[in-house]
Amino acid sequence: MTATLEVRDLKTHFFTRAGVVRAVDGVSFAVDRGKVLGLVGESGSGKTVTGFSIMGLVDPPGRIAGGKILFKGRDLASLSEEEMRALRGNRIAMIFQDPMMTLNPVLRIDTQMIETVQAHERVSREEARQRARDALGQVGIPSPDERLRSYPHQFSGGMRQRVAIAIALLHKPDVIVADEPTTALDVTIQGQILAEAQKLCRVTGTAMIWITHDLSVVAGLADDIAVMYAGRVVEQGPVDEVLDAPFHPYTVGLIGSVPSRNRRGEPLRQIPGMTPSLLDLPAGCTFRARCPRAEPRCAEPPPMAEYSPGRFARCIHPYNVPEMAA
């Protein structure tokens, strides 16, 4: 079975005056129907640019410099802007961190939603309105008929994010790219949004890419996980295996930094140093300077290796692989 969405060796580079920024440099992963892939990384790791590349939303000076984005076998990276526009918002949709990226502040919700429906399908205004109403109800907005006539500023932050999700759902897309949609929300509201997302995948079979910096959110939501560092996926696999027995020293450090993973009051295990500048990446393994296991061999770029079935890591001295111990 082919995956709904498969990204193969994606390279998205920004050609700036200061030099080439390799924001995404050889990223590969796949998501199946009804599954959630958690794309985890810190600021500057390239996770958002990966999401934008899938949506065809990378603006100059950035462009996709290599690789394939296969949506049901069709390469999105090679489509014309017109062909892409027919798919975007229709078969693949995005939810942004800030719902006001989706919403137009001066238009009523019904105007925006009806427009979205009619952009891809020839339906009557009345039918489009009905679809909009149903989508709002589906994401748990009370009295959707009245809320359709509201403007975005009349909603709270959590409600706005629900509207943005409802818009993403209008055409029952095959793929949703969600870029930190709950980061700006409060804990109790985040719980509500995560519940909606879960229900959605289960009921409609949408494949979802959930981009986040928060390992705890991914732990509860995702089936698979891909950890990004400095533009590359350094580790990927099923969520339980990656979180319980991480291979890559960066993943080990990231999990160790989560406060609940530590004894109360004792110093947190921390990763020394900071993320390198993408303009000036060290040769070889980009994590080398912060890695407790670094050795001279790390000056060569480590290949992505499958250490156990479905479990990949870009490291020559991984943890938790007994037979590999040097």
Partner 1 sequence: MSAAVQEVAGAGLAPRAPVMELRGVSRRFSRGLDLAAKVAQRLGAPVKEEIVHAVDGVDLSIAKGEVVGLVGESGCGKSTLGRMVAGILPPSDGAILWRGRDLRSLNGADAREAKLRTQMIFQDPYASLNPRLKVAEIVGEAPMVHGIVRRRDLEPYVDEQMRRAGLDPAFRRRYPHQFSGGQRQRIGIARALAVQPDFLVCDEAVAALDVSIQAQILNLFMKLRRELDLTYLFISHDLGVVEHLSDRVVIMYLGRVVEAAPAEEVFRRANHPYTQALLSEVPRIETRKRAFAGVKGEIPSPLNPPPGCHFHPRCPHAFDRCRVERPALKPVAAGHTSACHLNDRT
Q: How far is the CB of 279 from partner 1 (least distance, A)?
A: 14
Residues with Cβ within 8 Å of 116's Cβ and at least 6 positions away in sequence, in order, are 89, 167, 170, 171
**Crossing angle, helix 187-204 and helix 157-169, to 10 degrees?**
10
Residue in 31, 3, 27 with CA at minimum distance from that of residue 209: 31
Query: Using CB under 8 A, which residues numbered 251 to 280 contact partner 1?
Result: 253-262, 264-265, 267-272, 274-275
What is the nearest approach in angstroms of partner 1 to the Cβ of residue 37? 14
Could you say whether residue 194 binds partner 1 (CB under 8 A)? yes
CB neighbour list of residue 240: distance below 8 Å, 6 or more residues apart: none
Q: What's the rounded Cα separation, in Å, for the pair 233 and 41? A: 9
Instruction: Tell me if 158 sits within 8 A of 140, measured CB to CB.
Output: no
Residue type, 123: V
Provide the minimum distance between the beta carbon of 227 and partner 1 in the complex, in angstroms, as a whole number: 12
Residue written as token pair 């999700």:
165
H-run or E-run covering 120: helix 109-120
Among 221, 228, 252, 313, binds partner 1 (CB under 8 A): 221
How many other C-beta atoms are found inside a 10 Å radius of the C-beta of residue 323?
Answer: 6
- 56-95 binders of partner 1 (CB under 8 A): none
Question: Minimal distance in Å, beta carbon 168 to partner 1?
Answer: 18
Candidate residues 8, 26, 42, 281; the one interacting with partner 1 per rule CB under 8 A = 42
Q: Nearest approach, Cβ of 43 to partner 1 (angstroms)?
A: 6
If the CB atoms of residues 66 and 319 are measured against partner 1, the closer one turns out to be 319
The answer to whether the beta carbons of residues 197 and 220 sit under 8 Å apart is no
Q: Which is nearer to partner 1, 115 or 223 (CB)?
A: 223
- Helix, strand, coil in percent for the chain, rounding step 5: 40, 25, 40
Applying CB under 8 A, the site for partner 1 has a residue count of: 49
Stretch that binds partner 1, among 51-59, 98-106, 145-153, 208-216 (CB under 8 A): 208-216
**Token pair of 23, please?**
């924001």
Rounded to a whole number of angstroms, the minimum distance from the CB of residue 240 to partner 1 is 6
216 binds partner 1 (CB under 8 A): yes
Binding stretches for partner 1 (CB under 8 A) = 42-43, 156-159, 186-195, 198, 213-217, 219-221, 223, 239-240, 243, 253-262, 264-265, 267-272, 274-275
